[in-house]
């Protein structure tokens, strides 16, 4: 809570009653960030330090970590502010006790699950490209998606910048002559990746909604609504990101070892020239 009367804060902290707090203030014994206050003054509970007789009685709560999930509607930009005056997701979140910011992005025309937090380590853990937290999208495309197009998306496609996507899991939800509804699960976070993947195989995305991030699902949230994540959900996301990081490290090491074996040839690594010469001088290999 922000902009609260100081005597109310003192009473809520169990220091004294509101009436007694007013008397402490009149006596000059209460200071806000080192300065004397008067009865009726307010304080920002997220920023201000309150003392009585030089002793700290209220420390700002801004160090606390908060985690929220929002159903981002279409038409909103995933940023904290916009120089062009467009609507941002911050316009939708009002009664949060601290300043939070979006984790990752959903473009203006996309909707669905978006995380917001004031925990920078948590945000970096989830957005780092090597951690591979799964993201589930419900995607409506047109025209009708052929089997060949779906297979291509599943195997990975080359995007407009020349990069190739990792394999994706795809489930056909609705298959109609003029459109197809897909559920696509990816573990990357390239800019506008789903739309670019579909464009690469000749499909136009007409609706895109993120339904889940790891084990956290959108559930019954409606566009524009948000709620605080449970501690179990936060732990599940951390675990998924940590597991993805470990898997990526193993895959990287495996690829590096395979490359070294290939470079060494079928007979294993070659001994340095000096070592070969020394063996010849001793009479070659024994045994």
CB-side neighbour CA atoms (13 Å) of 225: 8
What's residue 111's pLDDT? Answer: 98
Q: With bands split at pLDDT 50, 70 and 90, how would you rate the model's confidence at 228?
A: very high
Q: Average pLDDT in the 143-147 region?
A: 95
pLDDT of 197 strictly over 90: yes
Q: Which two tokens stand for residue 156?
A: 């990975």
pLDDT of 136 strictly over 80: yes
Q: With bands split at pLDDT 50, 70 and 90, how would you rate the model's confidence at 276?
A: very low
Per residue in 60-113, pLDDT (tens digit) is 765 678 999 999 999 999 988 888 889 999 999 877 777 789 998 899 999 999
What's residue 95's pLDDT? Answer: 74
As a whole number of Å, the CA-based R_g of the chain is 29
Q: Where are the domains of the chain?
A: 4-58, 64-131+220-252, 134-213
Please report where in the chains the tokens 């911050």 appear, as a residue: 90
Give the residue numbers marked as catalytic. 107
More confident residue, 189 or 267: 189
pLDDT of 203 strictly over 90: yes
Judge contact between 115 and 104, C-beta under 8 A.
yes
Q: Which two tokens stand for residue 202?
A: 């000749």
Mean pLDDT of the residues in the chain? 85
pLDDT of 244 strictly over 90: no
Residue 141 CA to residue 151 CA, distance in Å, equals 15
Q: With bands split at pLDDT 50, 70 and 90, how would you rate the model's confidence at 285?
A: very low
Q: Which two tokens stand for residue 41?
A: 């003054």
What's residue 108's pLDDT? Answer: 94
CA torsion through residues 237, 239, 244, 249, sign: positive
Helix (H) or strand (E) holding 239: helix 231-264
What's residue 17's pLDDT? Answer: 87
> What topology does CATH give the domain 64-131+220-252?
Alpha-Beta Plaits (3.30.70)
Is the fold of 4-58 the same as that of 134-213?
no
What's residue 3's pLDDT? Answer: 82
Distance of CA 35 to the CA centre of its chain: 40
Q: Which CATH class is domain 4-58?
A: alpha beta
pLDDT of 269 strictly over 70: no
Which one of 3.40.640.10, 3.40.50.720, 3.40.47.10, 3.30.70.1560 gives the CATH number of domain 134-213?
3.30.70.1560
DSSP conformational letter for 80: S
Q: What is the pTM of this model?
A: 0.67
Q: With bands split at pLDDT 50, 70 and 90, how would you rate the model's confidence at 249?
A: very low
More confident residue, 117 or 59: 117
Q: Average pLDDT in the 230-240 region?
A: 94
Q: Average pLDDT in the 201-212 region?
A: 97
What's residue 281's pLDDT? Answer: 52
Q: Rank 31-45, 98-112, 174-188 by mean pLDDT and report only the highest.
A: 174-188
Please report where in the chains the tokens 């001793």 appear, as a residue: 282
């Amino acid at each position: 809570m922000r902009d609260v009367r100081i005597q109310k804060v003192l009473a809520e902290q169990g220091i004294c009653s509101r009436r007694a707090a007013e008397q402490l203030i009149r006596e000059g014994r209460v200071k806000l960030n080192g300065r004397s206050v008067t009865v009726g003054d307010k304080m920002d509970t997220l920023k201000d330090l309150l003392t009585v007789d030089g002793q700290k009685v209220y420390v700002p709560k801004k160090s606390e970590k908060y985690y929220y999930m929002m159903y981002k509607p279409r038409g909103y930009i995933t940023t904290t502010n916009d120089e062009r005056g467009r609507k941002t997701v911050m316009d939708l979140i009002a009664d949060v006790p601290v300043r939070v910011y979006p984790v990752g992005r959903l473009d203006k025309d996309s909707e669905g699950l978006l995380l917001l937090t004031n925990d920078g380590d948590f945000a970096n853990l989830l957005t780092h490209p090597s951690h591979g937290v799964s993201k589930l999208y419900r995607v409506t495309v047109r025209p009708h998606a052929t089997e060949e197009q779906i297979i291509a998306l599943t195997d990975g496609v080359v995007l407009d910048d020349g990069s190739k996507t990792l394999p994706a899991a795809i489930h056909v939800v609705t298959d109609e002559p003029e459109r197809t509804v897909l559920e696509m699960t990816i573990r990357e976070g390239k800019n506008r990746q789903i739309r670019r993947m579909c464009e690469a195989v000749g499909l136009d995305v007409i609706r895109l909604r993120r339904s889940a991030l790891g084990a956290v699902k959108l559930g019954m949230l409606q566009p524009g609504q948000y709620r605080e994540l449970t501690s179990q959900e936060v732990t599940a996301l951390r675990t998924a990101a940590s597991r993805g990081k470990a898997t990526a490290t193993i895959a990287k090491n495996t690829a590096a070892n395979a490359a070294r074996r290939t470079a060494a040839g079928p007979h294993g690594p070659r001994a340095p020239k000096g070592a070969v010469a020394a063996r010849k001088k001793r009479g070659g290999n024994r045994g």
